[in-house]
Structure 1
Amino acid sequence: MTAEQLASAAAPATTPGRPPATPLDPDHDPYPWLEEVEGAEALDWVRERNAHAHATVGAAAGFAATEAAVREVLDSDARIPEVSRIGEHLYNFWRDAEHERGLWRRTTLAEYRTDAPAWETVLDLDALAAAEGQSWVWHGATLLRPTPEQLAAGEPWRRALVDLSPGGSDADVTREFDLVAKRFVPAAEGGFERDTARADGRTGAKGGLAWADEDTVYVFTDFGAGTTTPSGYPRTVRLWRRGTPLADAVVVYEGADDDMYISARRSRTPGFERDLVSRSIAFYRSETFLVEGVGTPGQRLVKIEVPESAEVGFHREWLLVELRDDWTPDGSTARDGDQERTYAAGSLLAAPADDFLAGRRDLTVLFAPTASTSLVGAAWTRHHLVLNILDDVKNRLHVLTPPVDATAGTAWQRADLPVGDDLVTVGARAVDPLDSDDVWLTTTGYLTPSTLALATVGGPDGEADREDASVAPEVLKTAPAFFDATGMVVDQHFATSDDGTRVPYFVVGREELVRPADPTTPGTAPTLLYGYGGFEIPLLPGYSGTVGRAWLADGGVHVVANIRGGGEYGPAWHQAALRSRRHRAYEDFAAVARDLVARGITSPPHLGAQGGSNGGLLAGNMLTQYPELFGAVVIQVPLLDMKRYSHLLAGASWTAEYGDPDSDDWEFVRTFSPYHLLDAGRDYPPVLLTTSTKDDRVHPGHARKMAALLLATGKDVTSYENVEGGHGGAANNAQAAHMAALAWTFLRERLA
């Protein structure tokens, strides 16, 4: 089917509601009925739009082949099974063609080293879903570590808390699981179960359970009226003892009515046991409390005195503080004088925990940002701290070793952990921070298939006085190349945004397309520009067999923009696009689009924009504010109606990011609300909108209403709503492949 035929097939269907004003009047929404997630009229409309998507994009040449190619990647047995070490076993959750819902399984390290490990099934989700008539989606598991005495006596790891979601929603249930017997422990036998039946008839609630000891858990969930926040998250945390009714769980902490999320956990490191309550006030504001005498009449909460914007963490005798804002602690002094010391936003600080709790503020700076560097991760091993640093969006790993005596005031030792190629991402994850200095090292790049290695940091005996900060990594698994990258290259460029800021981006594709011989000739390469730009989340290089097969191998160019709002340059990069400064993220993305054209890589008719969730808001603003730059736009699980977003599902938790539309903030929020910026008299590129009925984080009403508005104004719009999948959009590999094929086929047809 040609692009012209697709455009004809996309002619507006009959959509109830009056034609909108130009632009839309925020006080007169024509489509509120589309916010009724399970409403009969709304679902009839969804089915009509899905049928249209299947009759057009789904019937286009190449759709079936693309879907099959993507599905083959997702189901491939050659993928690297990501594992976590639990006692003697390595655990993995795995989905493939035979196990659509997935298997929770385990093996040993010796087996994992082989080409074909023998896996033992612990829990079969497909069998469970069939037996219970519920479309369970795996949400993870937390295991209770046996005490040193139990381990010494040979007792196995037995107790787990398994989280399961109906259909992929954020709301889920938790059940206790016996790892030895490989069965759930029923409530009749004293097993812990969090299985809330909600007022709307759905199963589950947002929240969870966390182990305190083998007979006690922390529970934070929906206990009824007044126990959840405006975002639908738990407002209380309670201590629940085995064998007692959930209703009798003792309240440990109760947040304010307008808080975001309350939770608790227990650190069970022998000799450093701590009970911690976390109070999320807003998305970038929180408090952490140490709980003394938890659950007793003498219970006492001790607040960790750091800025609300900071994040704190404990490891044995150490306290770490990561700053989002500059901080001058009371009582802190520079080492060379009496003047109070200010620590820069983006810094990572360390202090002996007991000293800090006693009021002393002698902090060690473990990392301080520069104009080009930021901290993106920190992982403790038993004796060391591995820092993951970005330098112009390129990885650097450093191993820090604290002094043996935390109170001695001696310096931390530092060494580098070699990364290799600048244009790959290397992640370090501790194997077991309680008793091991081993780390899992994952390496991946746009054209570099992923590898998983095992390394010991600090040398063979934890020593740190070496330039090479690790024993040579042992490569355990290497993923296959899912597409032929011969002749392809990766380049990093910088575009200049409207205010002069340099914005990095990566370009991937065939060399003759990415590096055209004559940049002055308008480029015709089908090019997809992807971005996110929010919540301090960086976009880093990574291998995708799906992108390779569905786009790069077919002559497409893939571009990833590291725009403001993300975390590529730390908190300042994120804060530069917060709230009233949101427009900076969109200006950055538009600047990258123009730079691609200036380099001769592509031209507007052949350039597409794509984003999901917050990135869907980005893509929606590209559609409505910069339509002349793009030939097609894909908007996935998006926010789009920024007048209503804070009233829909978890939206109230994001006002720190976007602003409060029910206040004077609407004056700037309206400037990036695509639903209200759409102009019936303006031309727009073709658009594909996708969402999920089960998405209980970003309301499907955003995508539904935007599609309806585009239809009513005669625009070229295709929309598709998956019935499962939650915010991820798909509950299994088949659904994921179908959704991906819709997007890739749409882009190929419109941009080629």
Structure 2
Amino acid sequence: MTNPSYPDTRRGDHVDVYRNEQGQEVQIHDPYRWLEDPDAPETRAWVEAQNRVSDGILNGLPARQAYVQRLTELWDYARPGMPWRKGKRYFRHFNPGLLNQPKLQVADSPRGPWTDLLDPNTLSADGTVALMGLGQSDDGSQLAYGTQSAGSDWVTWRVRDVQAGQDTADLIEWSKFGGATWLPDGSGFYYSAYDAPRGDTLTGTNRNQRLMLHRLGTPQGQDELILARPDEPDWGFHAHITEDDRYLLVSVWKGTARMNQVWVRELGSRGPFTELVNDFRASFNVLGNDGDTLYLITDEDAPLGKIITWNVRTGEQQTLIPEGADKIDFAALVKDGILLVTLKDASHRVTLYDRQGQKKRDIPLPALGSVLSLATHQDDAEVFLAFTSYLFPTTPYRLHLPDGDLEALEQPAINLDVNDFEVTQEFATSRDGTRVPHFIVSRRGLKRDGTNRTLLYGYGGFNISLTPTFSPSILGWLDRGGVYVAANLRGGGEYGKEWHAAGTLGRKQNVFDDFVAVAEHLIGTGVTSPAHLGIQGRSNGGLLVGAAMTQRPDLFAAAIPQVGVLDMLRYHEFTIGWAWASDYGRSDDPGMFEALHAYSPVHNLREGVTYPATLVTTGDHDDRVVPAHSYKFISELQRVQQGEKPTIIRIQVNTGHGAGKPTALLIEEWADVWSFLEKYLE
């Protein structure tokens, strides 16, 4: 096809001045600075013009309608969520098929019968209001529920009487990055809040989080301030109450570094907190307590994690379960024991220990996959578990203790025979010799002749592990002969603290090298070839795709950077972007400026280069990674692209970073992505 006629994007003359490590001034041209204002008339007109171009291309793709139809069929199956108990009531999320948002249901038994308690589909005509946080009172009679609108991270809290199924008059606004933790008597709950934004709701920086206590029946303006640290504007606070109602615990966080402080005081006390951990040296996650003794997971002096006890009164610490060969991903206290979920080569294992730290037994899982969550109480033998894998729909189980048997509460039935497909795991070798695992999902008996349309997906950041999970969208790609590959890159959390650190700051290039190594391994082993290989990633994964396609445009035929962090010199200027500096560093640090500038996708597009066919996606209400990243990148890419491969942007209105996106919009988005890939990986 001939190169599309793209909108004329104005190039301004704005220049920023940075300093490098030698103290020299460096001038950087930012011609698309004006696109940082999402509400400016010129930006809105540009968005409309770009969407007209992309709509014309995407709607004309030969496979698009077939994907819409097949994805609709694949999405249309009952999805029962894992139950959890509060008091004598059980709760779960449930989607019977194609609802834009799952319902919240309640029952007297984990097997039902279930009654609808809250249906977010009734909160908006287009399904763009989603539940984004729940907290039940200890007896299960009161529900605090948070909603987000049009994909924004801002959460509004309301309270519902569970028995009556009706909302109270309580209303909490301008909350973000925190949940609702109820007082034992159900009279109120703790939550995290920010000052109301002043005209920059979707772009203004989020600092000075406060921990507040809301009492039912009172206006938000009368809520009690529990914690605020204006001298430390980057600190945030998350509250937790021990199950014996003895202690109020506060985890103090700073950015996304997975290091936190732990403060504690007796519940009901108005005295100062005891700062058990008073610096950001490691991660400390409190599992529960036995009187004055807390049980915690920490990676202090244990990069793969260990379980310790910590006496609140005496300060005495003891290692209960020492660091092992595999990373501890998460854990839960159960009756007379501890359930440990560990990662071995990016898939989960579950092991039961007693409270003295002695191993009791391994818990067999249904397949090579992921435990998404555990729900239990620390003195309860009733444990619920959600399990999933690439070819295994997310399924709720009841785990019987102490024998370790898993009982499926419901078995989702999908419109595809998964026995026609298989999952294999292989390992590539990165530039520096590091072993890089990746999962390959394909039809059984894949012919390794280099002709398979293959999508390579990655993330590689923020200590987040990519483990096998089920997705109807991936099935749509597999069903039409595609191959799906997920790479476990440094910067993630698959192998613990050191694996994460090896992909951060001045070592960020390792992530891109790992991704390229997996691509070259797929080519070298005949899975695919450059003409049939596409890459995709979201958010930090969008940065990965942007860096990979600018560094190795010869290696890929198509690229899908979604809601990506693409301007590495200015990411910290918006919303919560400042919190990512622990992974990225900042351009106003002379020691990091050159490293960031060296891989920043916006700044490394070059004239006269043929880049892969590119579909950038973003949402106009994304206040996590503001859409200006994508706007700037596509503007420069359209200007410099050599040849006829299209470079387009899909800007979805009334959507954000992705959480809570309605089913209907997900189907439309993935139909566009897959049909674009099918066309340009021919």
Q: So what's the TM-score if we normalise by structure 1? A: 0.82
Instruction: Say if 2:128 and 2:662, in contact at 8 Å, map to a contact too.
Output: no
SS at match of 2:455: strand
SS at match of 1:745: helix
> CA RMSD of the aligned region, Å?
2.8
For 1:420 and 1:254, locate their aligned partners in 2 and report how far apart those are by CA, in whole Å.
Answer: 43
Aligned to 2:86: 86
For 1:120 and 1:207, locate their aligned partners in 2 and report how far apart those are by CA, in whole Å.
Answer: 27
Aligned to 2:298: 323
Aligned to 1:744: 674
**Is 1:346 paired with 2:273?**
no
Q: Aligned-pair distance for 1:214?
A: 2.4
Instruction: Say if 2:454 and 2:482, in contact at 8 Å, map to a contact too.
Output: yes
Aligned to 2:654: 724
Task: Pick one of 489, 492, 511 that aligns with 1:585.
Answer: 511
Q: Tell me, which stretches of 5 or more residues in structure 2 are unaligned?
A: 19-25
**Is 1:573 paired with 2:574?**
no
**Is 1:598 paired with 2:524?**
yes
Residue 668 and residue 395 in structure 1: after superposition, are their counterparts in 2 closer, same or farther (change >3 A)?
same
In terms of mean alpha carbon deviation, does 258-267 or 714-723 score higher?
Answer: 258-267
**Is 1:397 paired with 2:378?**
no
Mapping of 1:65-464 within 5 angstroms?
65-77=66-78, 79-95=79-95, 99-109=99-109, 111-112=111-112, 118-129=113-124, 135-146=128-139, 157-186=140-169, 192-196=170-174, 209-212=180-183, 213-223=185-195, 231-270=205-244, 272-284=245-257, 285-292=259-266, 296=270, 299-305=271-277, 308=280, 309-317=282-290, 318-326=293-301, 344-354=302-312, 357-361=313-317, 363-370=318-325, 373-403=326-356, 412-420=357-365, 423-427=368-372, 429-430=374-375, 432-459=376-403
Q: Aligned-pair distance for 1:582?
A: 0.3
Q: Aligned-pair distance for 1:67?
A: 1.8
State the one-letter code of the partner of 2:596: V
Percent sequence identity over matched residues? 29
Deviations 1:528-567 (A, max 9, x none): 111111111111122323211x211211111111111111
Aligned to 2:484: 558
Q: Aligned-pair distance for 1:607?
A: 0.5
Residue 293 and residue 142 in structure 1: after superposition, are their counterparts in 2 closer, same or farther (change >3 A)?
closer
Instruction: Say if 2:98 and 2:663, in contact at 8 Å, map to a contact too.
Output: no
Q: Tell me, which stretches of 5 or more residues in structure 1 are unaligned?
A: 113-117, 147-156, 187-191, 197-203, 327-343, 404-411, 460-469
Residue 616 and residue 569 in structure 1: after superposition, are their counterparts in 2 closer, same or farther (change >3 A)?
same
SS at match of 1:304: strand
SS at match of 2:264: strand
Residue 135 and residue 585 in structure 1: after superposition, are their counterparts in 2 closer, same or farther (change >3 A)?
closer
Residue 100 and residue 600 in structure 1: after superposition, are their counterparts in 2 closer, same or farther (change >3 A)?
closer
Aligned to 2:23: none
Aligned to 1:467: none
For 1:249 and 1:713, locate their aligned partners in 2 and report how far apart those are by CA, in whole Å.
Answer: 54
Deviations 1:370-414 (A, max 9, x none): 3xx2111212223321111122224321101114xxxxxxxx221
Aligned to 2:21: none
Mapping of 1:464-475 within 5 angstroms?
470=404, 472-475=405-408
For 2:110 and 2:506, locate their aligned partners in 1 and report how far apart those are by CA, in whole Å.
Answer: 55
Instruction: Say if 2:348 and 2:371, in contact at 8 Å, map to a contact too.
Output: yes
Q: Aligned-pair distance for 1:135?
A: 4.7
For 2:266 and 2:59, locate their aligned partners in 1 and report how far apart those are by CA, in whole Å.
Answer: 59
State the one-letter code of the partner of 2:359: R
Instruction: Say if 1:692 and 1:729, in contact at 8 Å, map to a contact too.
Output: no
In terms of mean alpha carbon deviation, does 413-422 or 670-679 score higher?
Answer: 413-422
Residue 734 and residue 487 in structure 1: after superposition, are their counterparts in 2 closer, same or farther (change >3 A)?
closer
Mapping of 1:682-697 within 5 angstroms?
682-697=609-624
Q: Aligned-pair distance for 1:222?
A: 2.3
Instruction: Say if 1:643 and 1:670, in contact at 8 Å, map to a contact too.
Output: yes
Aligned to 1:546: 473
Deviations 1:173-218 (A, max 9, x none): 11111111111101xxxxx32135xxxxxxx666554323422332
State the one-letter code of the partner of 1:319: L
Instruction: Say if 2:478 and 2:484, in contact at 8 Å, map to a contact too.
Output: yes
Aligned to 1:491: 424
Residue 13 and residue 250 in structure 1: after superposition, are their counterparts in 2 closer, same or farther (change >3 A)?
closer
Q: Aligned-pair distance for 1:280?
A: 1.5
In terms of mean alpha carbon deviation, does 433-442 or 496-505 score higher?
Answer: 433-442
Instruction: Say if 1:252 and 1:294, in contact at 8 Å, map to a contact too.
Output: no
Residue 729 and residue 636 in structure 1: after superposition, are their counterparts in 2 closer, same or farther (change >3 A)?
farther
For 2:373 and 2:464, locate their aligned partners in 1 and report how far apart those are by CA, in whole Å.
Answer: 17
State the one-letter code of the partner of 1:586: F
In terms of mean alpha carbon deviation, does 313-322 or 205-214 score higher?
Answer: 205-214
Q: Aligned-pair distance for 1:102?
A: 4.4
State the one-letter code of the partner of 1:741: A
Deviations 1:217-272 (A, max 9, x none): 3243124589x9984155222334445553343332222455434224241523x5
Aligned to 2:640: 713
Instruction: Say if 2:83 and 2:110, in contact at 8 Å, map to a contact too.
Output: no
Residue 544 and residue 209 in structure 1: after superposition, are their counterparts in 2 closer, same or farther (change >3 A)?
closer
Deviations 1:611-650 (A, max 9, x none): 0011111011111111111110001111000011000221
SS at match of 2:92: strand
State the one-letter code of the partner of 2:172: R
State the one-letter code of the partner of 1:65: A
Residue 162 and residue 488 in structure 1: after superposition, are their counterparts in 2 closer, same or farther (change >3 A)?
closer
State the one-letter code of the partner of 1:13: P
Q: Aligned-pair distance for 1:434?
A: 4.3
SS at match of 1:163: strand
For 2:661 and 2:422, locate their aligned partners in 1 and report how far apart those are by CA, in whole Å.
Answer: 33
Instruction: Say if 2:106 and 2:117, in contact at 8 Å, map to a contact too.
Output: yes
Instruction: Say if 1:311 and 1:321, in contact at 8 Å, map to a contact too.
Output: yes
Instruction: Say if 1:12 and 1:714, in contact at 8 Å, map to a contact too.
Output: no
**Is 1:614 paired with 2:540?**
yes
State the one-letter code of the partner of 1:706: F
Q: May I ask how many residue pairs the two structures share in their alignment?
A: 661
Structure with greater strand share of residues: 2
**Is 1:13 paired with 2:7?**
yes
Instruction: Say if 2:77 and 2:414, in contact at 8 Å, map to a contact too.
Output: no
